[in-house]
Amino acid sequence: MKQHALSISKSLLLNTSAKCLSSIRCLSTEEAVERRNHLFVLEKKRQHEKVGRIEKIEVNYKGVPKDCTLIMNKDISTPYDCARHFSEWHTEMSALALLDGTLHWDMHRPLTESCTLEFQSFNIAEPQQVNKAFWRTCSLLLGACASVAFKSTVPVALHSFPGPDIRSGSFIYDVDLPTLPDWRPTSQELHTLSAEYIRICRQKLPVERLDVSEELALEMFVDNPHKTTQIPSIAKANGKVTLYKVDKHVDISKGPLIGNTGQVGKVAVTAVHKLTGSNDSEVKQLYRFQGVALPTGVILNHFAFSLLIERAKKLNSARSPINPFADTREPAHESIAARA
């Protein structure tokens, strides 16, 4: 009798869990964003409380106004906290931190040991890593815009964005819109996406980083079948998944990303192209959202920026995640000699 009752209760538990999982997967995009944000905040608080006894570390700062040593809290203090000891310019314009002269570090990522610290802005002598972090951040923000741009009746499932390739002329995010099989955005819709992007940037929101377990990452993205498929392979290296949060938007990226959204200056969402999957692909199509941006402080007149916009409208040739062997390059223009 006792074993029978145990079997019944276990069955009820499994059915309840299945129903809960089903209801989570049926969340609207807005509800899923809220849920992920809530779990991110709870996990960040848990990790902070787990630190326990606070240890001190020495941070040897190199830069303006002068070199100095700061005494900070291990696993709590961030490069941003260090920047606050100097000036508002340091906090607003520092895109990345450079630790011990070799390791690029997020501005809002806690420091784990004593180190030397330099702040990196967009006008340093060798800005390659800063530029990559900028481009990577722009892709993540494009996903944030796509998540809130549509009506609640239109499900939006973010798929992925490739590593930064500045030479391509555009940053991108591949998005699944299963109920819009033949969507062709109008110029007004692209302007609306651009306006949402500008709104996020003008808020000067911090870009927060958090490393979480594979299990928690799967729970946070349970509503998104693309992310849940990707997470196990991402976590394979060390069992961790790196997440970033801007306002309430949470996404996956290996990083590093820039310090805050206010470091994105001129920006435009330029195009949305349809990507078609291969015959054996589970996902039959995605939409490639594309944009172009400049860091704050980079001056470019309207005409010059319009040329960048026109270039960014062309289909970005980055490999398609659902048809990796497809040629996504724009067809070459036929030469006069060939026509002759």
Q: What does the pLDDT read at residue 6? A: 43
Q: What does the pLDDT read at residue 115? A: 98
Q: What is the CATH number of the domain that holds 80?
A: 3.10.20.30
Nearest one of 224, 226, 249 to 141, comparing CA atoms: 249
Q: What does the pLDDT read at residue 284? A: 87
The number of domains in the chain is: 2
- Do 144 and 221 fall into the same domain? yes
- Do 76 and 197 fall into the same domain? no
In a domain, 162, yes or no: yes
- Do 133 and 206 fall into the same domain? yes
- Do 95 and 177 fall into the same domain? no
Mean pLDDT of 131-151: 97
Q: What does the pLDDT read at residue 326? A: 60
Question: What are the tens digits of pLDDT across the range 212-262?
Answer: 999 999 999 999 999 999 999 999 989 999 999 999 999 999 999 999 999
Distance, CA of 32 to CA of 319 (rounded, Å): 28
- Do 115 and 180 fall into the same domain? no
- Do 133 and 233 fall into the same domain? yes
Q: What is the CATH number of the domain that holds 235?
A: 3.30.980.10
In a domain, 279, yes or no: yes
**Which tokens belong to 63?**
């830069």
Mean pLDDT of 99-126: 97
- Do 112 and 169 fall into the same domain? no
Q: What does the pLDDT read at residue 141? A: 98
In a domain, 16, yes or no: no
**Which tokens belong to 296?**
């704050």
Give me the residues paired with residue 158 across strands. Answer: 175
Distance, CA of 195 to CA of 197 (rounded, Å): 5
Q: What does the pLDDT read at residue 17? A: 42
- Do 107 and 159 fall into the same domain? no
- Do 113 and 235 fall into the same domain? no
- Do 214 and 267 fall into the same domain? yes
Q: What does the pLDDT read at residue 279? A: 78
Q: What is the mean pLDDT of the chain?
A: 89
Please state, in angstroms and as integers, the Cα–Cα distance from residue 241 to each residue in 165, 223, 251, following that order: 23, 17, 10
- Do 298 and 239 fall into the same domain? yes
The residue segments making up the domain with residue 72 are: 56-120
- Per-residue pLDDT at 19 exceeds 90: no
- Do 116 and 172 fall into the same domain? no
Question: What are the tens digits of pLDDT across the range 144-170?
Answer: 999 999 998 999 999 999 988 889 999
Q: Which residues contact 83 (CB under 8 A, 6 or more apart)?
A: 90, 91, 94, 107, 119
Mean pLDDT of 167-182: 95
